[in-house]
Chains A and B, each alone.
Chain A
């Protein structure tokens, strides 16, 4: 069985500052890990996915995430926030044949 915890339902950062959104997971099998983004009034869109090929995963729009097995974490980062990054971000985990479990989401606010 899998579960995922996102720390912080709301995160605010200044434009140009580092973005760090935290995600911790638990899984009884080697996990697949995902970050999805949801812009206002839109469906979710895949940002990046970890499938065991490399621990540092680069995604769209300058985001990346690092898989740390020892910490059971998959935090999402971006070096410099842009106003267009304001959205809700969901971390998710699944096993190959197990349903995907989504976190409760973190809403990212960008301050001018």
Chain B
């Protein structure tokens, strides 16, 4: 079956512009996660959705970052007024049920470059 998909695969933007990153989870997966992967820094947790609600937003680095999930499926991560330090690979994952102990299935990521 189809895995987690993300779009775009690459995004180059200018400092100060807003960007939207999209994630399509595996059908039927109720939990959805966003991570940021920076060179040499591993994965940084950003936000977690269970259904349409976000019980844990603690990882969002600033109020420029926001995310929503509609219909318990597709999620959008929005970064406003992008800065150069936002350049990273943004990974989305989904799992069948809530709980970080469950296996997460990752998408290929969106590589964001802020000039």
Nearest CB of chain A from residue B84's CB, rounded to whole Å: 21
Residues of chain B in range 67-115 having any CB-CB distance to chain A below 8 Å:
91, 93, 99-101, 103-109
Residue in chain A with minimal CB distance to B106: A43
Minimum CB–CB distance for B94 against chain A, Å? 11
Known pairs A9-B40, A99-B48; A46 contacts B104 (CB<8 A): yes
Query: Is the interface on chain A under 10, 10 to 19, 20 to 34, or 35 or more residues?
Result: 20 to 34
By secondary structure, the B interface counts as loop
Closest A residue, CB atoms, query B55: A97
In the assembled complex, which residues on chain A have CB atoms less than 8 Å from the CB atom of B107? Answer: 43
Distance, CA A46 to CA B39, complexed state (A) = 21
Q: Which of A33-69 contact B (CB under 8 A)?
A: 36, 41-46, 49, 51
CA distance A42 to B5 in the complex (A): 11
A residues less than 8 Å from B65 (CB atoms):
none
Listed residue (B43, B91, B107, B109) with the most chain A CB atoms within 10 angstroms of its CB: B43
Q: Mark A1-31, 1 if CB is under 8 A from B, else 0.
A: 0000000010000000000000000000000
- Shortest distance between the CB of A31 and any CB in chain B (Å): 9
Residues of B within 8 A of A45 (CB): 106
Structural contact, A99 and B56, CB atoms closer than 8 A = yes
B97 to chain A, nearest CB (A): 12
Top 9 nearest A-B pairs (CB, nearest first) are A43-B106, A104-B42, A102-B43, A94-B100, A32-B101, A100-B100, A44-B106, A43-B108, A46-B103
Residues of A near any B CB (own CB < 8 A): 9, 32, 36, 41-46, 49, 51, 90, 94-105
Please list 16 pairs of residues, one from A and one from B, whose beta carbons are closer than 8 Å in the complex, sorted by A's number: A43-B3, A43-B4, A43-B105, A43-B106, A46-B103, A51-B101, A90-B43, A94-B100, A95-B100, A95-B101, A96-B101, A98-B100, A99-B45, A99-B56, A99-B100, A105-B42
